[in-house]
Structure 1
Amino acid sequence: MRARHKPWAEDYLIENKEIVEITATDQKGKWNSLFPEEQPLHLEIGTGKGQFIAGMAKQFPDTNFIGMELVKSIIVSAVDKVKEAECKNVRLVNENAENLLDIFSQGEVDTIYLNFSDPWPKNRHEKRRLTYKSFLEKYRTILKENGQLVLKTDNQGLFEYSLVSFSQFGCKLEEVTLDLHATEDPKNVMTEYEEKFSAKGQPIYRCVVSFS
């Protein structure tokens, strides 16, 4: 995801500490203490401009949400989305998924969302894919036993690769959907990319896997 550089982004994140956790590693093992209530903890990796995480927080007030985004110039838009939603059950972190084990304790997260992640289509970039085995190992560590990962993408190649990667890693496939919007799932919250691609008639792929 490309975004125009915003030199004021870092200051903006600091100004909104009630939404953005600046020192995410300090919260390892105690994320639920940041929220009004201790509830299941869901994590979106690559939260982008925040439409999904804000929509989920509003639709599911009985769950606490964390949105992780690496690019400062993008996560500032997510801050605005969360403000508009006026939800107290969502926090944002400006972090890299490579650092998950420094940010979350073993078994701290209930569900992980990967929405329209970069497919990194070239073979030499395989290790950067968020469904590569090294990332799956991190997910298994921070997820509760039988915790779930939900993947949505418009990229058929990434989807097929991910299904194989999940299977080889020993994940249990709970759901595989080849055209999400044909199912008319009332609980589905669309991302900005999802709205764009589905409007063009592109199928949206979704799968749900569990980690034992």
Structure 2
Amino acid sequence: MPHAILKTDKNLKDIVCVDLFVFKNRGILSLNEPFNCFLDFYKKHDSLIIKLNKVTRSIVTDELKNEILCISKNIANFLKAEIVFHNLEPTNSYMHLCDCFEKIYTQKDPLKLQKNINNLEIGFGRGEFLLSLARQRSNEFFYGIEIYGKDYLTALNRCCLQKLNNIKLINYDAKYAIDLFENNCFDNIYVNFPEPWFKFYRIQHSIFNKITFKKITDKIKQNGFLRIITDNYSFAVHSSIIANNFGLKPQNKHFIEIKNNFDTLYAKKWKRLNRVFYSLVLQKTFNSPPNFYKKYDFPINLKRLEYKNSELIFKILGIYENKNVDYKIIEVAIGSYLAQHIFFGFLEDSVFLLPQTNFLFTNDFCDTLEKVTQ
């Protein structure tokens, strides 16, 4: 994560050269267009750490790193402090926008698929596999979801340079971005080398936990396929068990088969380590019911400031204040146990959107809002 470390004995309350919102020992600073994100500030012994807030999911470019460095230098100069470390050097990471870029924003409508044959890769990394398929099968359309901004940026720039017109790339967490699509819309969903350090005791955080797997299954057309490649046998076994529970059938005799020929960045790395690749080709033989998503118009008046049951949660994680501003900024966890973390403006029990507010409407998000607004 881009950050700078300043050596100083000053505290957050001493930083008055920028409009810092503070909650306990942590502060956040708003960056507006074109970045629309927050910077985190916190003290650790005699150090002040300034880092990019990951909740607003910014794509890290040289322009953003330069902005963080300039702010850090201004604050260091104001506090008479020294920047003892930063990782904000330019790395020629620029964002070249083209038709391959799928913008994600609050209240985005479900995506309209482009062709009769539609494909999705979850976690496409730097895009080797997805872009190769898109080049080879120009009569089909491809979507890709990738959470890591650095890999996403690499894939996006490759896609734009190759001028592919049958592909869209999304930079977001697949647990939420999968809800951008209607049920029964994909012929193939690919998941290549997820969970490299898969552990059963962390199953709720897996891409194939019961909630996310159901969402993924619902997006596949009848007679479509979920295609998984992994070098982790435990993950392959877990995937076969949960697939069977959700009614997916192996295309061939066995759920798990050995895959020898596969060529991506991670596949090359694992080949050098003599890893075995396990393939699961799982067919969906039924139609899922259509999905309907609610939407809410902001601002929203909250009737309660916290809610929790066995499935849903609304919890305020922090209330950030700036004495020069009449509103506060709240950080909220909202949804299921896969809750989204979101920053809202907050004034007189009403929450409103900020330029930095970044989330997707999902059913669990909307169900939770119902509980706290009624």
Q: Would you call these one fold, judging by a TM-score over 0.5? A: yes
1:37-76 alignment runs, 5 A limit: 38-76=115-153
- Distance (Å, rounded) in 1 between the aligned partners of 2:189 and 2:63: 26
Task: Determine the structure 2 residue equivalent to 1:111.
Answer: 188
Which amino acid in structure 1 is aligned with residue 60 of structure 2? P
1:30 aligns with 2:112: yes
Q: Which is further off, 87-96 or 168-177?
A: 168-177
Which amino acid in structure 2 is aligned with residue 201 of structure 1? N
Q: Deviations over 1:104-134 (max 9, x none)?
A: 0122222111000024533332022222221
SS in 1 for 2:216: helix
Task: Determine the structure 1 residue equivalent to 2:239.
Answer: 162
Higher relative contact order (CA closer than 8 Å, sequence separation 6+): 1
- Identify the structure with the greater helix proportion: 1
1:19 aligns with 2:19: no
Q: CA deviation at 1:29?
A: 4.3
Q: 2:164 aligns with which of 50, 67, 87?
A: 87
In structure 2, the CA distance between the partners of 1:172 and 1:105, relative to structure 1 (3 Å rule), is same
Q: Which is further off, 128-137 or 200-209?
A: 128-137
Task: Determine the structure 1 residue equivalent to 2:206.
Answer: 129
Q: CA deviation at 1:144?
A: 1.4
Which amino acid in structure 2 is aligned with residue 200 of structure 1? L
Consecutive aligned runs of 4 or more in structure 1 exceeding 6 Å deviation = 2-6
Which amino acid in structure 1 is aligned with residue 160 of structure 2? K
In structure 2, the CA distance between the partners of 1:209 and 1:89, relative to structure 1 (3 Å rule), is same
- Identify the structure with the greater strand proportion: 2
Q: Deviations over 1:79-101 (max 9, x none)?
A: 13323443221110011111145
CA RMSD of aligned residues (A): 2.7
Instruction: Give the structure-2-normalised TM-score.
Output: 0.48
Specify every segment of 5 or more residues in structure 1 that has no aligned partner in the other structure, as ranges: 33-37
- Distance (Å, rounded) in 1 between the aligned partners of 2:140 and 2:269: 27
Contact 2:191 2:228 in 1 (8 A): yes
- Distance (Å, rounded) in 1 between the aligned partners of 2:116 and 2:109: 16
- Distance (Å, rounded) in 1 between the aligned partners of 2:238 and 2:150: 30
Task: Determine the structure 2 residue equivalent to 1:35.
Answer: none
1:7 aligns with 2:7: no
Bigger radius of gyration among the two? 2
Q: 1:151 aligns with which of 215, 220, 228?
A: 228
Q: CA deviation at 1:27?
A: 5.4
Q: CA deviation at 1:61?
A: 1.4
- Distance (Å, rounded) in 2 between the aligned partners of 1:45 and 1:180: 19
- Distance (Å, rounded) in 1 between the aligned partners of 2:2 and 2:160: 21
Specify every segment of 5 or more residues in structure 2 that has no aligned partner in the other structure, as ranges: 4-51, 53-58, 65-93, 287-374
Q: Which is further off, 113-122 or 59-68?
A: 113-122
Q: Which is further off, 149-158 or 190-199?
A: 190-199
Q: Which is further off, 108-117 or 21-30?
A: 21-30
